[in-house]
């Protein structure tokens, strides 16, 4: 290696704060840039001054969520498994797992594209499109799903890159996709006049750029996964090990989609301005979520490696530092956005109705943002350590709770209930996470893990 320290050094031996800086700062930068990526489409569509188009790409957000979820089934399930195998020094098996996840992610993406062509009208209706937004939502969804296998593959490869602690390379891939989006969005949306189809196509092509970079890195520069493309077959037992963690990502996203569809269908009753307001507010509050995700995603290999190698003191030290940093990120961001909420909303729309309701929705979503980072931390800890039951329950809790919550609050308070239903649900989900976390902490006692290291961190 030409690096002063290998990526594994930061997983295994570097001081914890230094390891966090190496693993998480690039991911936080990358996810921050990714926030820009998520608002680019909305910004350029907004320049067309067509609320129906802006509403349509908001309605289409669950499509991208589905594709990302399938990518994470293989990426998170396979990536955390590979990191644990590296911690156990089983490098060859890690390559087989990587090969399986690569090829299977492509196959699943192509199957989803086929289903999209067959059922695009029901899909558009399910997204909550009305007469004004139906054609736009249908076009956006079909274009995105047609290239969905690229999106799925990109998320899978990104997690495989990260499995060895290569956070900088993961960040570079995000830079590539964001840069391409900045170039392609104005060309395809405005220059060629393809509006929502251009927005979806730009997203697919941007993901292709980063996927090519990740594949190059894994095959040419990865410490542990070079040559993984030669492998495909793995045992049923190993497949189950991937899916017991990876499927939780799919379930989490499935219930997230259910909540989004419920939200869309309730919100559309109050007009397109409400849908647009939700879309804008959601993109804004994703910033602290993405920062927290960057911090935690960078540390998932750290947690998985040290848990697998039974260095529990180091594992706990990383966990405490991560909790502290998430608290700082959440409180700081929420405070700043609350202070400047009106001018921030105005960046996305000049419609007075959208500005008014969007500002109110943003305040409610900021409450959720305070808790969301800790919920992500709990789920990621469970994923990294192979805690299938806790991961699964936490992944579906939010969706299961949201359904009765929005029904009850909408019946009692109308639009106000719809707007605040997510904040109430997030609070209850966090409490559920704390309960599982307390139980998990008991498993971290060195006496429960034969051979665990007790050396200082």
Query: What are phi and psi for residue 50, nearest 5 degrees?
Result: -125, 105
Greater confidence (115 vs 351) lies with 115
- Cα 83 to Cα 146, 222, 301, 303, 430: the distances in Å are 32, 13, 6, 9, 27
- At 31-57, the pLDDT tens digits run 667 666 666 766 677 677 666 777 777
pLDDT tier, 450 (very low <50, low <70, confident <90, very high otherwise): very low
Give alpha helix (H) positions in 88-133. Answer: 91-118, 120-126
CA atoms within 13 A on the CB side of 436: 25
pLDDT of 211 reads 93
Burial class (CB in 10 A: 0-12, 13-18, 19+), 449: middle
- At 79-96, the pLDDT tens digits run 888 888 877 777 778 888
Averaged confidence pLDDT in the chain: 80
pTM: 0.69
Percent of the chain with pLDDT over 70: 89
Tokens linked to 386: 């192979």
Tokens linked to 427: 């609070």
Least Cα distance to 197 among 378, 60, 324 occurs for 60
Radius of gyration for the alpha carbons in the chain, expressed in angstroms and rounded: 21
Residues sharing a CB contact under 8 Å with residue 192, sequence separation 6 or more, in sequence order: 198
SS3 457: coil
Q: At residue 277, does pLDDT exceed 90? A: no
Per-residue pLDDT averaged across 100-116, rounded?
A: 90
Tokens linked to 67: 């594709």
Q: At residue 436, does pLDDT exceed 80? A: yes
What does the alpha-carbon distance between residue 303 and residue 287 come to, in Å, rounded to a whole number? 24
- At 119-163, the pLDDT tens digits run 888 877 777 766 777 777 788 888 888 888 999 999 899 888 887
What does the alpha-carbon distance between residue 258 and residue 283 come to, in Å, rounded to a whole number? 18
What angle separates helix 195-220 from helix 16-46, to the nearest 10 degrees?
160
Tokens linked to 116: 């999209």
Tokens linked to 441: 């902490």
Per-residue pLDDT averaged across 209-238, rounded?
A: 84
Greatest mean pLDDT among 103-117, 180-194, 275-289, 384-398 lies in: 103-117
Least Cα distance to 384 among 105, 83, 30, 40 occurs for 83
Greater confidence (139 vs 387) lies with 139
What's the length of the chain?
457
Greater confidence (378 vs 5) lies with 378
pLDDT tier, 452 (very low <50, low <70, confident <90, very high otherwise): very low
Tokens linked to 437: 């976390």
Q: At residue 296, does pLDDT exceed 60? A: yes
pLDDT of 457 reads 44
């Amino acid at each position: 290696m030409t690096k002063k320290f290998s990526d594994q050094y930061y997983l295994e031996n570097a001081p914890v704060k230094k390891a966090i800086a190496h693993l998480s700062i690039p991911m936080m930068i990358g996810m921050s840039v990714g926030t820009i990526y998520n608002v680019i489409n909305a910004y350029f569509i907004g320049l067309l001054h067509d609320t129906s188009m802006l509403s349509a790409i908001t309605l289409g957000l669950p499509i991208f969520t589905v594709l990302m979820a399938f990518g994470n089934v293989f990426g998170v399930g396979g990536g955390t498994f590979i990191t644990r195998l590296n911690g156990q020094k089983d490098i060859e098996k890690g390559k087989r797992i990587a090969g399986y996840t690569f090829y299977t992610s492509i196959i699943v993406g192509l199957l989803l594209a086929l289903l999209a062509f067959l059922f695009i009208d029901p899909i558009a209706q399910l997204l909550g499109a009305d007469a004004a937004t139906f054609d736009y939502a249908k076009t956006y969804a079909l274009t995105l799903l047609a290239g969905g296998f690229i999106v799925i593959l990109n998320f899978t490869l990104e997690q495989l890159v990260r499995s060895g602690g290569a956070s900088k390379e993961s960040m570079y891939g995000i830079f590539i996709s964001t840069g391409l989006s900045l170039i392609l969005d104005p060309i395809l949306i405005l220059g060629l006049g393809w509006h929502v189809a251009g927005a979806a196509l730009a997203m697919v092509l941007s993901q292709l750029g980063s996927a090519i970079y990740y594949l190059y890195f894994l095959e040419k520069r990865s410490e542990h996964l070079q040559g993984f493309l030669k492998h495909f077959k793995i045992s049923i037992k190993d497949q189950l090990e991937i899916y017991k963690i990876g499927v939780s990502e799919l379930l989490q996203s499935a219930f997230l989609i259910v909540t989004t569809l419920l939200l869309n269908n309730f919100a559309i009753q109050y007009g397109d301005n409400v849908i647009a307001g939700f879309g804008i507010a959601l993109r804004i509050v994703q910033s602290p979520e993405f920062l927290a995700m960057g911090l935690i995603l960078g540390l998932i290999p750290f947690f998985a490696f040290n848990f697998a190698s039974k260095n529990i003191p180091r594992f706990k030290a990383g966990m405490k530092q991560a909790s502290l940093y998430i608290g700082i990120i959440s409180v700081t961001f929420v405070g700043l956005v609350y202070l400047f909420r009106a001018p921030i909303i105005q960046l996305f729309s000049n419609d007075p109705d959208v500005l008014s309701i969007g500002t109110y929705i943003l305040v409610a979503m900021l409450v959720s943002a305070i808790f969301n980072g800790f919920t992500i931390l709990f789920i990621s800890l469970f994923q990294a350590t192979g805690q299938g039951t806790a991961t699964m329950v936490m992944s579906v809790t939010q969706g299961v709770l949201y359904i009765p919550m929005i029904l009850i609050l909408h019946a009692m308070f109308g639009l106000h209930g719809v707007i605040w239903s997510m904040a109430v649900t997030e609070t209850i989900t966090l409490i559920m996470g704390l309960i599982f976390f307390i139980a998990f902490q008991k498993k971290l006692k060195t006496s429960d893990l034969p051979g665990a290291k007790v050396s200082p961190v």
